[in-house]
Structure 1
């Protein structure tokens, strides 16, 4: 199949903007708990829809009092926290354009984005961010104001606007139209300078309408249970921003957690008890591997592996039944599944708060077996696909008919087209307006309303999309063989010891790989084999470790032809980190940066 469309379920809005959702919510259900925020003691405090509306109104008045005007661009540089959501809706209420900045951005990146967007004011999280902006302030002549959240910016702004009437905010809000710019989000930039994607209120409304129409029923696990979500993905990323909006519009209770590390995240999941999660495949991989290591330490690896196998087979049988290609789980499989549900699966669900029965995953590909495993333990992961240029979602697996290993069907109102060269083209109300100050880039991306994504993929007979790679990442060996590195890298990374893998081989006689290790997995591996702790340089030369990684490479090679297979590899002592400029904030590899930094190691792979 070359093209597939899912009809829209809601008409294109003719009036209004994103901030209207806050005021509509407070009018319809003022006493309902809309959000939760932590107090100084670390306890969750409920915020009703009416209270949140009042806070948005007070913040909007403060922004106006401090000189922010309709159409001004205001940067927000912070981790995911309650104040970000508050600022988003307050800025949208006065017609400002929000420019999110990753909190890990360097001074040069901050300078480029704030200069390119002609930002008038910036709101940062803490002193380090303020110093980052301050170090380039002389190159930002339009930047007039800077506020710091950890220095009482919320109270300061709210106090500044107390003398203004509420009507002044409402006049600004009513002047916002669907075609007004809502935000300018800079792509994370695996190559070249980040580009500013101009997204309107209509773009966000179209995508949120599509998500709400398809997933409202899965936010809550049982009738009468209020749906809730703990947001820990970066709000600087379009995925987090879109889900934040969906929560307000769909009345899903929203809380925030700024740290994705397990030691911070798991206690909040346990105390907040969300019914729904939003994450990237890497987090689900970490949860699975941590559970496996725990079982091995307790001498229960055999039963754990059996439990995994039963979960996968059970989910696969359910999948076959949904598509009428099988009868569903057999009676014997149901009995085994019930036993393991008591012994294993329920404990995994408890670690995620006990009520979380579903999740949405995006940003990179998820291995089919991992998705089946989580489905088998009672937590369905809806894998999806989208870009900053599509306001987040373009395709997601629909409830009741999930095809694991695919990114699902187009969202309502979206068309997917596969071009002659395999590139994915998208069309829909969520497709962006173009790149700020970059007509050439805009012309390359947009073609009569179609977005040329740069991704490669295929559609099956049911309209489900499978991502096969990136056009710019295709390797061509000196023998003329084209290789898509993503399939190989994903399979190598499935090994518990592997953190990252990058496949190389452009203009080379064969394909090779650089591999980094997961520190927690390595520590566990050494302990289970009673090996002494080693320095990183010694560890990467350990023959037993090399044998383990070789198994991962051999497993990956079974997915491709011999000409595309990895012939040799090297284990690196260091990690590919964002701090070193090797991955984007959404954990995508920056291939050129890695290949430049490890040029000597790559050259050595071809000296045999």
Structure 2
């Protein structure tokens, strides 16, 4: 039996009244689950799944206690499960179902046939499947990376992959977390691991509510008031945040310093974080620690901790992993690599991450950006746009900014409107080397509504944006000097035609 399930059984037998999860179920009813109650529900749910003769389960629902029970019952029943983000487009959902061959659907699947059973309060549907079986032997979970297209790739992870990362993280943060607030969607592998498996191994309590109650909707909609209310009501001591949520937390704590008092450990991941933001968080009493990971390694690869931390880095490699750098500084990893993609088993000793990084003498990893995203200017300079974009958040917090400039002599950026944005970017430019400065700033109203410019989880589709910028600038006069930044306001009427 999985060490995660063994931990549940251990706490259920030894401390039956210990609370495992608090929050709401699929229908919105608030509940508390002790470890003993959780074990009973998992065992009952596993029997429901086994009666369906499920080969692969697709779980699509908002965060809830029932989501957690469904996930753990699939593990107990030995059935592969594929969590699907609720913000995936219909095209992406169909792609996931086709690729995974899921024959049992749980959760929000209206229009996919008749309900054949219920798992807690989650409806269960049967789905006819035909085609080639792509699930790799030993797969316990399939997680789909959003990538830069509408056809994400399915990563096949074994239960052992999940156990290794969960056990390591539990050891790294032991004593730091007793009340974890689940913020990110549980369909995100990072929160799936840190919000469910790690707390269970530690024997602590996690709190789960649907995203809208916590101020989070879809892939990037945010309500600061609801987020603040959740922090006031729950007083968590641990959180997992994206860089955008860390910036929001910094602003909230500036107004309400007491909200940082309960926090012991705030992990930040999903994109590069400027060192200044980590430093600012610590100055406010927010114990923020950047980490790095990828689905192909079951999430976290490296992590800063209270015992070993360096702002601007993504921490030291975790004990169960090994890393190396290729001749062109691409980060290579081994130690907890996935089984492979659906229909494509991995081979070879090392997995090439596609990330450009450096490794200092103390063992801290610092990311530069994605290898495929590197901009090569007409002067032959290699520039990682993620580096500039993350640093820009220090001067224009909360602003969406995408850097372009492939084969150009100078860089440009598409940016969402913000008061005094040209002055802010000019101050930012003063901190950068000349080759990395932004010389043309295209201010685009309602930037995030241009859906074909961003993936489902909010990452820019760079080749599309780069093409648009090149076309737009061809029609604009260029007059900025070596140091000034030209501001170009794009009219809403122009954007409406895209």
Fold shared by both chains (TM-score > 0.5): yes
Runs (5+) with no aligned partner, structure 2: 125-136, 217-222, 480-498
Give me the whole-angstrom Cα distance separating, in 1, the residues matched to 2:463 and 2:287.
36
User: Corresponding residue for 1:366?
Assistant: 273
Name the counterpart of 2:171: 213
**Cα distance in 2 between the residues matched to 1:597 and 1:97:** 41
The aligned counterpart of 1:68 is 53
Query: Which has the higher relative contact order, 1 or 2, with Cα contacts under 8 A spaced 6 or more apart?
Result: 1
* Residue 303 of structure 2 is aligned to residue 396 of structure 1: yes
Counterpart Cα distance in 2 of 1:412 and 1:484: 28
- In structure 2, what is the Cα distance between the partners aligned to 1:43 and 1:392? 31
Deviations 1:326-370 (A, max 9, x none): xxxxxxxxxxxxxxxxxxxxx3233x6x52232111101222122
Determine if the alignment matches structure 1 residue 154 to structure 2 residue 134. Answer: no
The residue aligned with 2:405 is: 505
Other-structure match for 1:249 = 201
In the other structure, the counterpart of 1:281 is 243
d(CA) in 2 for partners of 1:154 and 1:566? 53
How far is the alpha carbon of 1:583 from its aligned partner? 3.1
User: What's the CA shift string for 1:232-252, capped at 9, x where partnerless?
Assistant: 101111101111111111112
Q: TM (normalized to structure 1)?
A: 0.70
Identify the residue that residue 265 of structure 1 maps to in structure 2: 227
Tell me which residue corresponds to 1:437: 343
| TM-superposed deviation, 1:98 | 0.8
Change beyond 3 A, Cα 1:501–1:106: same
What CA distance in whole angstroms lies between the structure 2 residues aligned with 1:407 and 1:145?
A: 47
Pick from 168, 172, 179: which aligns with 1:228? 179
TM-score (norm 2): 0.84
SS at the partner of 1:355? coil
Contact 1:59 1:157 in 2 (8 A): no
1:588 aligned residue: 459
Q: 1:401 to 1:478 in 2, by over 3 A?
A: same
How many angstroms does 1:585 deviate by?
4.5
Residues 539-554 of structure 1 aligned to structure 2 (within 5 Å): 545=419, 548-554=420-426
1: CA distance, partners of 2:64 / 2:191:
11
Matched, 1:204 2:156: no
Question: Distance in 2 between the 1:604 and 1:18 partners?
Answer: 59
Decide whether aligned partners of structure 1 residues 433 and 349 sit closer, same or farther in structure 2, where only a CA change above 3 A counts. farther
* Equivalent pair of 1:74/1:120 in contact (CA under 8 Å): yes
Does the C-alpha gap of structure 1 residues 211 and 482 become closer, same or farther in structure 2, counting only changes over 3 Å?
A: same
Is 2:75 the counterpart of 1:124? Answer: no
Tell me: CA distance 1:410–1:58, structure 2 relative to 1, closer, same or farther (3 Å).
Answer: same
Give the Cα–Cα distance (whole angstroms) in 2 for the partners of residues 209 and 103 of structure 1: 28
Residue in 1 aligned with 2:23? 37
Q: Structure 2 vs 1, CA of residues 156 and 215 (structure 1 numbering), >3 Å: closer, same or farther?
A: closer
Residues 264 and 290 of structure 1, relative CA distance in 2, 3 Å threshold: closer
Distance in 1, Cα, partners of 2:94 & 2:317: 37
Which residue in 1 is equivalent to 2:220? none
Change (3 A) 1:491 1:604: farther
Unaligned runs of 5+ in 1: 1-14, 135-143, 159-178, 220-226, 295-346, 523-544
Q: Deviations over 1:170-204 (max 9, x none)?
A: xxxxxxxxx83210111111246211101001101
- Once superposed, what is the RMSD of the aligned Cα atoms? 2.7
**Cα deviation digits, residues 262-303 of structure 1 (max 9, x gap):** 3333323222221111111111112323566x6xxxxxxxxx
Residues 41 and 96 (structure 1), Cα distance of their counterparts in 2 relative to 1, 3 Å cut: closer
Alignment check: 8 A CA contact 2:25 2:64 kept:
no
Contact 1:498 1:515 in 2 (8 A): no
Q: Secondary structure at the match of 1:576?
A: helix
Question: Given that residues 150 and 455 in structure 2 are in contact (C-alpha distance below 8 angstroms), is that contact kept between their aligned partners in structure 1?
Answer: no
Deviation at 1:24, TM superposition (A): 3.0
What residue number does 1:575 align with?
447
Deviation at 1:502, TM superposition (A): 0.7
Q: How far apart are the structure 2 equivalents of 1:157 and 1:499?
A: 40
Work out whether residues 424 and 455 of structure 1, in 8 Å CA contact, stay in contact via their aligned partners in 2: yes
| CA distance in structure 1 between the partners assigned to 2:39 and 2:365 by the alignment | 39
Kept after mapping to 1: 8 A contact 2:388/2:436: no
* Match of residue 86 from structure 1: 69
- Aligned residue for 1:211, secondary structure, equals helix
Q: Which residue of 2 aligns with 1:9?
A: none
Q: CA deviation at 1:503?
A: 0.7
Instruction: Give the number of the structure whose residues are more often helix, by fraction.
Output: 1
Deviation at 1:156, TM superposition (A): 7.4
Is the Cα–Cα contact under 8 Å of residues 475 and 506 in structure 1 kept in the other structure? yes
Q: Report the CA distance between 1:153 and its aligned residue.
A: 5.1
Partner of 1:50: 36
The question of whether the paired residues in 1 share the 8 Å contact of 2:268 and 2:289 is answered with: yes
For the residues of structure 1 that align with 2:476 and 2:203, how far apart are their CA atoms?
A: 55
Which of the numbers 557, 560, 574 marks the counterpart of 2:429?
A: 557
Instruction: Determine helix, strand or coil for the equivalent of 1:218.
Output: coil
CA–CA distance in 2 between the matches of 1:607 and 1:22?
64
Distance in 2 of aligned mates of 1:279 and 1:358: 11
Mapped contact 2:179–2:204 kept (Cα < 8 A)? yes
* 1:424-446 per-position Cα deviation (integer Å, ceiling 9, x unaligned): 11111x2111111246xx4xxx5
- The structure that has the greater radius of gyration is 1
Instruction: State the SS of the aligned residue for 2:355.
Output: strand
Which residue of structure 1 aligns with residue 489 of structure 2?
Answer: none
Q: Residue 68 of structure 1 contacts residue 96 of structure 1 at CA under 8 Å; is this kept in 2? A: no
Aligned CA distance change for structure 1 residues 76 and 485 (closer, same or farther; 3 Å): same
Alignment of 1:480-519 (within 5 A): 480-496=380-396, 499-517=399-417
Q: Distance in 1 between matches of 2:258 and 2:78?
A: 42
Change (3 A) 1:108 1:45: closer
Does the CA contact (< 8 Å) of 2:23 and 2:209 recur in 1? no
Do the aligned partners of 1:37 and 1:255 also contact (CA within 8 Å) in 2? yes
